[in-house]
């Protein structure tokens, strides 16, 4: 029965790599993090040091997101505490739903996901401030397997493709990955 739904596993891989919106209603009380929303009164000029710090913080958040997602996937834990350390909605909800879906279908992610991110733009004057990230993700060694047998789920193979993400600065000063997309039609 599971092998009849390879498209479902492709959706799971894509969600883990931050593709497409998924609407969901949470049932668990959770603190929500809001991006900075007060517009500055005057246009600001940011120093190279401020931009460099934003780039570094965004890349740290992105790397943390990938690591936390891998750990949460291996454990089948959509509420793994590290996820909220690096992710914000709507991406946080999409990742949690993908982990829960895999767990409910007796699957988990295993292996190595290779990432090579770069910052493509920094917008510190925007409300909220954002950093755009582009990555060449190599998912050839990152497999969706059945938890009991460790056999690869048919149709869940990965490859090398472009991925993009947005890091957003929140009111508490943290940079969190809030959105992203895997562009599987764009190899890298």
Confidence of residue 66 (pLDDT cuts 50, 70, 90): very high
Residues in contact with 97: Cβ distance below 8 Å, sequence separation at least 6, in sequence order = 15, 22, 24, 78
Confidence of residue 101 (pLDDT cuts 50, 70, 90): very high
Q: How far apart are CA 162 and CA 145, in angstroms?
A: 23
Confidence of residue 20 (pLDDT cuts 50, 70, 90): very low
30-34, 57-61, 76-80, 143-147: segment of lowest average pLDDT: 30-34
Whether 10 shows a pLDDT value over 50: the answer reads: no
For residue 128, whether the previous peptide bond is cis, meaning omega lies within 30 degrees of 0, is yes
Whether 100 shows a pLDDT value over 80: the answer reads: yes
| Cα dist from 122 to 18, 56, 128, 168, whole Å | 20, 11, 11, 10
- Give the mean pLDDT of the chain: 81
The predicted structure's pLDDT at residue 31: 38
Q: pLDDT of 108-155, one tens digit each?
A: 988 888 999 999 999 999 899 999 999 999 999 888 999 999 999 988
């Amino acid at each position: 029965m599971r092998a009849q739904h390879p498209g479902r596993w492709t959706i799971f891989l894509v969600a883990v790599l931050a593709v497409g919106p998924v609407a969901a209603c949470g049932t668990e009380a959770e603190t929500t993090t809001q991006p900075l929303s007060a517009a500055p009164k005057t246009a600001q000029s940011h120093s190279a040091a401020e931009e460099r710090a934003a780039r570094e913080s965004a890349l740290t958040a992105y790397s943390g997101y990938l690591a936390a997602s891998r750990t949460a996937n291996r454990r089948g834990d959509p509420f793994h505490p590290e996820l909220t350390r690096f992710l914000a909605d709507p991406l946080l909800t999409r990742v949690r739903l993908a982990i829960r879906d895999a767990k409910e279908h007796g699957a988990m992610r295993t292996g190595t996901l290779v990432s090579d991110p770069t910052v493509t733009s920094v917008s510190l004057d925007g409300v909220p401030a954002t950093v755009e990230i582009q990555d060449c993700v190599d998912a050839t060694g990152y497999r969706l397997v059945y938890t009991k047998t460790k056999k690869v789920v048919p149709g869940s193979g990965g490859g090398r493709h472009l991925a993009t993400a947005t890091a957003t600065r929140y009111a508490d000063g943290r940079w969190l990955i809030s959105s992203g997309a895997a562009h599987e039609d764009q190899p890298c």
